Amino acid sequence: MRKIALLIEYDGTDFLGFQLQGQGRTVQGELERAIEEVTGTRSRVAGASRTDSGVHAEGQVVSFRTESRLPPETLLRALNFYLAEDVAVKAAREIDEDFDVRRRAVSREYAYTLAVGPGRTALHRRDAYWVAQSLDLKAMNGAAAELIGGKDISSFTLAGESGRSGRRRVYRAELERRHGDLIDFVIEASSFRKQQIRLMVGTLLEVGRGKRSVEDFAAIVAAAEPGLAGPAAPARGLCLRRVNYREPLFATGD
């Protein structure tokens, strides 16, 4: 029995999220189907980060066990042949039997993309959220900085979420202009809870529109109480860019 890790990219638009459900198309379901086509046996796929319905990934990491003797490069090509065009294997390698891709991850990096301007976006309609009003980026970055450090970020969880600790280490949280009217909110933390980043973006947008001050935002963070955040921004702007491990699992561009 071998354990294989895959680096996965997907356009989340037409998926009901990463995780297998009773019904509907999921990334995990697609991967398990393709692995069965290639290896002849059903394998359970585990993911490093559970992305919600409509959320994209450029660097999801998954693993599965198989008795197949196919080399990783062959698995990569064969899986990409059987997968639909909106999900792809970008790299493949063998890992230790006891390496858990979720528990061993030291951080997850996500980006939430905004297209800001009076008219809607066309080219980025699947991977950015259009905001018509101009935004005070300086204020938004001031607010985002409040997230950095070892913080209880429970305010950015849905009201009524269970009482697990909300303490996380946030390594990075900033808004960057890409080019033209595109702005990326990039955040890296030890881990995230359901809808957490979309609730952060919804609240940061209130700051950017002048509906909340940076001080308000800081007070929301400090309260550490579920349900205080602004409305969740839509899923389509969010992308899991990268899962980090103590030692890089895959040789990639950066």
Residues acting as catalytic residues: 52
For the bound state, the minimum distance from the C-beta of residue 76 to a second copy, rounded and expressed in Å, comes to 5
**Residue 198 or 241: which CB sits closer to a second copy?**
241
**Residue 28 or 157: which CB sits closer to a second copy?**
28
For the bound state, the minimum distance from the C-beta of residue 251 to a second copy, rounded and expressed in Å, comes to 9
Q: How large is the greatest C-alpha to C-alpha distance in the chain, in angstroms?
A: 59
For the residues of 144-188, what is the DSSP string, one character each? HHTT-EEEE-GGGS-TT------EEEEEEEEEEE-STTEEEEEEE
Q: Using CB under 8 A as the criterion, which residues of the chain lie in contact with a second copy when the complex forms?
A: 7, 9-11, 56-59, 73, 76, 80, 85-92, 111, 116-123, 125, 127, 177-183, 239, 241-242, 252-254
The answer to whether the beta carbons of residues 242 and 59 sit under 8 Å apart is: yes
**Residue 183 or 229: which CB sits closer to a second copy?**
183
* Helices of type H across 5-51: 27-39
Residue 210, both tokens: 């002048």
- What does the alpha-carbon distance between residue 208 and residue 191 come to, in Å, rounded to a whole number? 25
